[in-house]
Amino acid sequence: MLLQSRCAGCDRPGVPLCRTCRFALVQPSRRPPGATGPADHRVISAVPFTGRARDVVLGFKYRNRRQLAGHLAGLLVNRLLAAGIRPGVDVDVVTWAPTSPHRRRQRGFDQAQLVAEQVARQLGLRSRRLLERDGAQPAQTGRGRVDRLQGPTFRIRPDVAGRRVLVIDDVVTTGATLRSAAECLRGAGAIDVVSAAVASTPGGLASRRQRWGEVVTGPWPVDGTGAGVRQSA
Ligand SMILES: [Zn+2]
């Protein structure tokens, strides 16, 4: 019996990602990249975590649509190149913010790792596991907001010193995970760290960018309201 493929965004039978959902993902990135900050404090993301794009990312993350990794990675690579990131110059290795071992066992894969591997391939770079979740910390989802602002702690793998690292996460909400990962990597001697995510909550990061010193590069206005990004799903 053949398992019929269904769209990750709308569950329509046929293909892993239907034309409507594919179009909804690329539509926002027709706008030029937004403001950029110092390379060590920004998060570059491909799509807003709203509307149809959010459905697709959730399908990838929770409904085991791992075949979408290459497509989502392609969108992120476009954003990275549009933001002026030069592979081999600004970044020389790609890694990811790993999910907790518990979540990884539940899902059978680490979605951030899948995207990072595809991003590396498309940029002509190597992907390497440079970070490990420290201890038995719970995953970010399901924790309280205050807790989540602290971010998880990571252990670092050797061979980070002197590298320019691109660190990938799937969805960025508070930015705490990527910030924590970047601090770890710098602490271990990385020359530069570029943080990127497939999707970001438009209001989430913007309202705290003063606190974290982050600037979100995205195809939508970063004014905390998310205006202009909501799509009718
Ligand atoms: Zn669809």
- For the stretch 17-31, pLDDT in tens is 999 999 989 865 444
State the residue for tokens 């989802």. Answer: 141
Distance 231 CA to ligand 1 centre (A): 14
**Per-residue pLDDT band at 62 (split at 50, 70, 90):** confident
Determine how β-strand 126-127 pairs with β-strand 42-48. unpaired
**CATH code (residue 185):** 3.40.50.2020
Find the helix packing angle between 51-62 and 19-26, rounded to 10°.
110
Q: Phi and psi of 109, rounded to 5°?
A: -160, 165
Distance 68 CA to ligand 1 centre (A): 12
Q: Does residue 17 lie in a domain region? A: no
Please state, for a pLDDT cut of 90, what percent of the chain lies above it: 48
Q: Does residue 115 lie in a domain region? A: yes
Residue 41 contacts residue 60 (beta carbons within 8 Å): no
Helix or strand run (H / E) with residue 169: strand 164-172
The C-alpha atoms of residue 168 and residue 178 are separated, in whole angstroms, by 8
Distance 72 CA to ligand 1 centre (A): 14
**Per-residue pLDDT band at 84 (split at 50, 70, 90):** very high
Q: Does residue 231 lie in a domain region? A: no
pLDDT of 146 over the 80 cut:
no
Q: Does residue 19 lie in a domain region? A: no
Distance 3 CA to ligand 1 centre (A): 17
Lowest mean pLDDT among 39-43, 82-86, 224-228: 224-228
pLDDT of 229 over the 70 cut:
no
Q: Does residue 124 lie in a domain region? A: yes
* Total tally of structural domains belonging to the chain: 1
pLDDT of 161 over the 80 cut:
yes
**Domain, as residue range, for 115:** 32-217
Distance 66 CA to ligand 1 centre (A): 15
The C-alpha atoms of residue 58 and residue 170 are separated, in whole angstroms, by 10
Collapsing DSSP states into helix, strand and coil, what is residue 96? Answer: strand
Greater model confidence, 207 or 10: 10
Distance 107 CA to ligand 1 centre (A): 22
Rounded mean pLDDT, 111-133: 96
Distance 12 CA to ligand 1 centre (A): 6
Q: Does residue 222 lie in a domain region? A: no
Task: Classify the C-alpha dihedral 132-135-138-143 as positive or negative.
Answer: negative
pLDDT of 114 over the 80 cut:
yes
Rounded mean pLDDT, 184-202: 93
Q: Does residue 49 lie in a domain region? A: yes
Q: Does residue 151 lie in a domain region? A: yes
Distance 55 CA to ligand 1 centre (A): 9
**Per-residue pLDDT band at 231 (split at 50, 70, 90):** very low
Mean model confidence pLDDT for the chain? 79
